[in-house]
Amino acid sequence: MSDIKSLLEKLSNAHGISGREGSVQKIVEGEIAPYVDEVSLDALGNLIASKKGDKPSIMIEAHADEIGLMVSHIDERGFIYFIKIGGWFDQTLLNQRVIVHSGSGAVIGVIGSKPPHFMKAEDKKKIVEAKDMFVDVGCGSQKEVEDLGISVGTPISIDRTFAPMYRDMVTGKAFDDRAGLVVMVEAMKRTKSTSSIYAVATVQEEVGLKGAKMTAFGLNPDIAISADVSPCGDYPGIEKPNVHLEVGKGPIIVVADGSGRGFIATHRVVEWLVDAANELDIMIQLDASDGGTTDASAIFITRSGIPTGSIGVPTRYIHSPVEVLSLGDIDKAADLMARALEIAPKYFGR
């Protein structure tokens, strides 16, 4: 699994908040190009890697963007205020070190707020909200900040790097959804499918599933598979019935999410993915949740409907800079996707 570890580390350490995914797309292009016939970028930055073949045409996808921040104001003393790009839990932001991606290069900063020394007793009991935080890059004036190439709209990402843990466990930022990108790339390397395949690294998933909507409409595939991370319940603070999803117990096949307001897989799609897992003797986990959703929920209602499967990599602490997962789960998810591509004509042949 050294290739998986190396690619995940490269992608996790790259920076690409929603709408600014270019550096991530370059990595994906370099990895996937040898296994497809053509790679292109559309007008908004979705990467589409096409492999010619027979029916059915299949779109596989994972999103390239990560949650982050964006400069909204610079005050006269040189402190930078920001908006959140994507779904942050505000407590995870405070006192993080960040990278401000200025026009002249990376600028290191820290997220600060009013110190507890100057708070009243009742204020210390309250959660500090993102609107009361700021980024300090060490400057003493607005002009000094602007001279660094920082302005309103400059992207900001968390300064955190990939690290190995015990056994095959690893931690890092943006596993949501760089892990899905690894699954997609590895599946393209491994599959012997003769179908036409569009491997897509989508943009702006974290802010409205936008890239998936665009590409699914434009490509109009017969079927699709989305690869993303899935929250699991194998650590303190999680109550039943969510504890059955565990890291290290294999990929997750999502039957439904968002209590059905998001994605609901058809019976035929679930049968297809489960049969692929059974053929490979891969342990899988089925999930029907009331939480968030993924690109799958945008793809399957595109045009007149696209049968869509959703494969999840179980991940702890999603939407934080310290996400944790098992490389073995990524490996098995890639095998599952690769085999599903091969047997797709049996289920969706035309």
Dump pLDDT digits (tens) for 35-48.
999 999 999 999 99
Contacts of 151 (CB under 8 A, 6+ apart): 71, 74, 103
Residue 340: pLDDT band with limits 50, 70, 90 = very high
* CB-based contact 114:132 (threshold 8 Å): yes
Residue 99 above 80 pLDDT?
A: yes
Summarised one tens digit per residue, pLDDT across range 325-338 is 999 999 999 999 99
| Residues classed as catalytic | 205
Query: What pLDDT score does 197 carry?
Result: 98
Query: What pLDDT score does 140 carry?
Result: 96
CA 97 to CA 106: how far, in whole Å?
Answer: 12
Residue 120 above 70 pLDDT?
A: no
Segment 293-297 mean pLDDT = 94
CA 210 to CA 19: how far, in whole Å?
Answer: 10
Fold of 68-158: Elongation Factor Tu (Ef-tu); domain 3 (2.40.30)
Summarised one tens digit per residue, pLDDT across range 199-243 is 999 999 999 999 999 999 999 999 999 999 999 888 888 776 767
CA 318 to CA 175: how far, in whole Å?
Answer: 8
Summarised one tens digit per residue, pLDDT across range 246-279 is 999 999 999 999 888 889 999 999 999 999 999 9
Segment 84-103 mean pLDDT = 95
Segment 340-348 mean pLDDT = 96
Buried b / exposed e over 38-61, threshold 16 CB at 10 Å, is: ebeeeeebbbbbbbeeeebbbbbb
Same CATH topology for 2-66+173-348 and 68-158: the answer is: no
Query: What pLDDT score does 4 carry?
Result: 97
Contacts of 348 (CB under 8 A, 6+ apart): 56, 222, 223, 268, 272, 307
Query: What pLDDT score does 118 carry?
Result: 54
Residue 115: pLDDT band with limits 50, 70, 90 = low
Domain 2-66+173-348 has CATH 3.30.420.40: no
> What are the boundaries of each domain within the chain?
2-66+173-348, 68-158
Tell me if residue 230 falls in helix, strand or coil: strand
Tell me if residue 308 falls in helix, strand or coil: strand
Segment 14-38 mean pLDDT = 97
Residue 124 above 60 pLDDT?
A: no
